[in-house]
């Protein structure tokens, strides 16, 4: 029989001969001897007794058996080793500390052991017995005090976050008001979801770390971005070639321009996204192509009344590459008070009345309520606020309406239009006033809407229980927020 160990030892590399299994075992045993020999007074030996992933006992390693044999001169039965370790340490999965504090191997285990025994006891005899932890660690004292204030106090405290404006914070908050710097609608819509999320994302401008990963399944944000790029590219080609407004006569030519725009975006974004599975990419592109073709036909049906005039019209953005040529770096000043920046998907002009309409394309489901939804509790601001921004940028124009166009199969290719000649503009201004007042007064603590924490980018900061925790608090402080969420 051939000796694989001998052949392996005959091979060499830069550092010498290649180690065999026996060499590695001898090296590990030497490390054990060195560790045992380094002990000056006492030696603590531990080993995992339970396989957590599979919930089954683990067999002691050979090194544990070597140590027991060196101490006792024999190897005890394996089942007794785990029981002896349990009796000596007393640690368990639910409380990783021994029952007897004197057997703890460090300060952490000692404190946990004392707390475990106190929690298992009852009555006045244990009251105040753990106060020494407060005195030894000011960090622990502050942490536990803040936790008590956050969970047990009905009043809002600084431990809950920013809940009031003070001499220290007043100047900083003033610099973040809606009249002091421009906000995007995406940022403003976060306030209704949770004021703390608005603070983190829009004021502190924090965002989760983006970790590059091969595209295996196209997420909704990536799909929406590609869809909007294809739409804007197609509309620009149609405008350049004089095919707007669309009609049945030029629809075939329009489909050719759409196909060219889809190919352009597909070729450019494929290299950037590096999809791991080509089939996933191809299926998504095919699905978007189908939806875009139906969207183009819907657009042609409106060609007799509305003419698309500007696409991806940006304002208040420093980077206007790929945007409408009329885009401006100046933000819109709404009602002379509130600065706004953003990009309007499409601006249309009525062919007879000559007034304008704002259209925001949506790739998700249509959750509007016909004839009722205006700002949807501050979560849908594009139709109204973009209309106000367009009026501020072009005061000589009449902005007739703002529209959401759900232009995919998921949205049913349905439009939802909100007239801007009635009460809708005032409701939009009310939303801006509420958010601006919250920034001015420093009312930016966490108070999430129902079932939003699980989708929040900042769950790692707050945890999943903020909705339950904040329901215990006095609701008066967030009366404006509640009024905003009640807006249709």
The pLDDT tens digits of the residues spanning 118-151 come to 888 877 788 888 888 888 889 989 998 999 999 9
Residues 71-79: what's their mean pLDDT? 83
Q: Is the pLDDT of residue 112 over 60?
A: yes
430 φ/ψ sector (left φ>0, alpha ψ -120 to 50, else beta):
alpha
At 186-240, the pLDDT tens digits run 999 999 999 999 999 999 999 988 776 666 678 888 899 999 999 999 999 999 9
**H helices within 274-366, ranges in order?**
278-301
Predicted confidence at residue 2, as pLDDT, reads 55
Taking all residues of the chain, what is their mean pLDDT, rounded to a whole number?
A: 89
Q: Could you tell me which residues are beta bridge partners of residue 337?
A: none
Q: What is the CATH T-level fold of the domain 163-212+305-488, as seen in this structure?
A: Lambda Exonuclease; Chain A (3.90.320)
The Cα–Cα gap between 202 and 287 comes to 33
Angle at 40 between CA 39 and CA 42, to 5 degrees: 70
379-410 per-residue burial string, b: 16 or more CB within 10 A, e: under 16: bbbbbbbbbbbbbbbeeeeebbbbbbbbbbee
Q: What is the DSSP letter of 203?
A: I
Tens of pLDDT, residues 318-368: 877 778 888 999 999 999 999 999 999 999 999 999 999 999 999 999 999
pLDDT at 79 exceeding the cut of 80? no
Q: What is the pLDDT of residue 316?
A: 94
pLDDT of residue 370: 84
* Bridging pattern class, strands 399-406 and 338-340: unpaired
What's the pTM value of the predicted model, to 2 decimals?
Answer: 0.79
In this prediction, residue 10 carries a pLDDT of 65
Query: Rounded to an integer, what distance in angstroms lies between the CA atom of residue 24 and that of residue 68?
Result: 22
Residue 310: pLDDT over 70: yes
Predicted local distance difference test score (pLDDT) of residue 4: 59
- Can you give the residue ranges of every domain in the chain? 4-93, 163-212+305-488, 214-293
Give the model's pLDDT for residue 1: 45
Task: Provide the strand spans (E) within 110-177.
Answer: none
Q: Categorize the per-residue pLDDT at 425 as very low, low, confident or very high, splitting at 50, 70 and 90.
A: very high
As a whole number, mean pLDDT of residues 17-23 equals 76
CA 86 to CA 75: how far, in whole Å?
A: 18
pLDDT attached to residue 11 = 63
pLDDT of residue 476: 94
Distance between start and end Cα atoms, the chain: 84
Which residue would you say has higher pLDDT here, 241 or 213?
Answer: 241
pLDDT tens, 429-475?
Answer: 999 999 999 999 999 999 999 999 988 999 999 888 999 999 999 99
Which tokens hold the place of 218? Answer: 């196209």
Closest CA to 318 of 227, 206, 176, 182: 182
**Spatial separation of the C-alpha atoms in residues 138 and 159, rounded to whole Å:** 16
pLDDT tens for residues 281-290? 999 999 999 9
């Amino acid at each position: 029989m051939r000796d694989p160990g001998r052949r392996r030892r005959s091979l060499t590399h830069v550092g010498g001969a290649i180690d065999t299994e026996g060499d590695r075992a001898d090296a590990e045993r030497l490390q054990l001897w060195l560790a045992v020999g380094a002990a000056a007074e006492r030696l603590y030996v531990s080993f995992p007794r339970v396989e957590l992933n599979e919930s089954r006992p683990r067999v002691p390693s050979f090194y544990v058996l070597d140590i027991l044999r060196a101490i006792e001169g024999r190897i005890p039965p394996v089942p007794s080793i785990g029981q002896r370790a349990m009796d000596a340490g007393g640690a368990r999965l639910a409380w990783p500390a021994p029952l007897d504090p004197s057997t703890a191997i460090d300060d952490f285990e000692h404190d946990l052991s004392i707390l475990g025994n106190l929690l298992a006891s009852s009555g006045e005899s244990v009251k105040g017995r753990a106060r020494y932890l407060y005195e030894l660690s000011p960090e622990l004292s502050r942490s536990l005090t803040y936790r008590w204030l956050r969970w047990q106090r009905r009043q809002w405290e600084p431990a809950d976050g920013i809940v009031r404006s003070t001499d220290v914070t007043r100047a900083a908050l003033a610099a973040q008001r809606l009249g002091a710097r421009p906000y995007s609608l995406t940022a403003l819509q976060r306030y209704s979801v949770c004021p703390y999320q608005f603070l983190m994302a829009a004021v502190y401008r924090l965002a989760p770390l983006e970790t590059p990963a091969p595209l295996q399944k196209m997420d909704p944000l990536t799909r929406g971005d590609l869809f909007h790029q294809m739409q804007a590219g197609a509309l620009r080609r149609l405008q350049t070639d004089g095919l707007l407004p669309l009609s049945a006569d030029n629809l075939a030519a329009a489909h050719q321009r759409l196909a060219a725009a889809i190919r352009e975006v597909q070729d450019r974004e494929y290299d950037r996204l590096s999809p791991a599975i080509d089939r996933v990419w191809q299926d998504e592109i095919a699905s978007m192509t189908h939806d875009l073709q139906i969207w183009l036909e819907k657009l042609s049906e409106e060609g007799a009344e509305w003419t698309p005039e500007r696409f991806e019209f940006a304002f208040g953005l420093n980077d206007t590459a790929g945007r409408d040529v009329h885009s401006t770096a100046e933000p819109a000043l709404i009602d002379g008070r509130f600065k706004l920046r953003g990009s309007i998907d499409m601006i249309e002009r009525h062919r007879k009345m000559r007034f304008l309409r704002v259209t925001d394309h949506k790739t998700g489901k249509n959750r509007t309520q016909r004839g009722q939804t205006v700002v949807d509790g501050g979560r849908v601001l594009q139709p109204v606020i973009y209309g106000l921004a367009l009026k501020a940028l072009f005061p000589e124009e009449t902005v007739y309406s703002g529209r959401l166009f759900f232009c995919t199969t998921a949205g049913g290719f349905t439009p939802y239009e909100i007239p801007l000649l009635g009460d809708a503009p005032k409701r939009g201004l009310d939303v801006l006033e509420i958010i601006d007042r919250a920034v001015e007064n420093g009312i930016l603590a966490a108070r999430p809407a129902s079932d939003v924490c699980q989708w929040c980018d900042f769950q790692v900061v707050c945890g999943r229980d903020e909705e339950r925790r904040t329901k215990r608090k006095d609701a008066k402080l967030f009366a404006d927020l509640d009024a905003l969420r009640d807006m249709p």
